Amino acid sequence: MTPQSDEDEVWRQIVASFNDTAERDSADQPWPDSENVPAEPLRRVVKPPEEFDEPAGERDEADQESEEEDEEQSEGHFVPPEPPPLPKLDLTTKLAWVALFGGPAYLLFAAVADWHMEGWVLFTAVAAFIGGFVALVVRMGDGPPGNDGGWDDGAVL
């Protein structure tokens, strides 16, 4: 027999037994019997909280003590430090951002307000968007930041 004929025979057996139902045994189940769910759900009993039997004066003192404890605990919570200031942008970058968002914003506002727009206004708004995008991409640069930023090329072997 060749290896190809053995493989063909195995495939014929698989196809012939495709519609056969599998016999399930409890030994075949992939989980232990202890994890089987019972037929009827278990009932939970919830007891109401017990009432305080203390006089009103003692309760007020206990409330004051618990408030003082809460204040002491709240003093130890974490307060994050102030974030560093945003970097200063030069005039070219600011104008590019304004053009990037201002052109489409003007077109959207004019369309909602149903204003009649001349062709040069449409051209200017679209050109502002494209120009702002191009200016930001060109100024982005393609290299890593300078060595003063602490940037790392990765592991050194």
Say whether pLDDT at 14 is over 60.
yes
Q: Rounded to whole angstroms, how far apart are CA atoms 22 and 28?
A: 11
pLDDT of residue 87: 83
Q: What is the pLDDT of residues 135-151, one digit of tens each?
A: 999 988 766 655 555 55
Burial of residue 86 (CB within 10 Å: 0-12, 13-18, 19+) is: exposed
Top-ranked range on mean pLDDT: pick from 27-41, 44-58, 107-121, 132-146:
107-121
- With pLDDT > 70 as the criterion, what percentage of the chain qualifies? 64
Q: Are 134 and 105 in contact (CB under 8 A)?
A: no
Q: Rounded to whole angstroms, how far apart are CA atoms 16 and 10?
A: 10
Burial letters 23-32, b for 16+ CB under 10 A, else e: eeeeeeeeee
pLDDT of residue 60: 58
Say whether pLDDT at 57 is over 60.
no
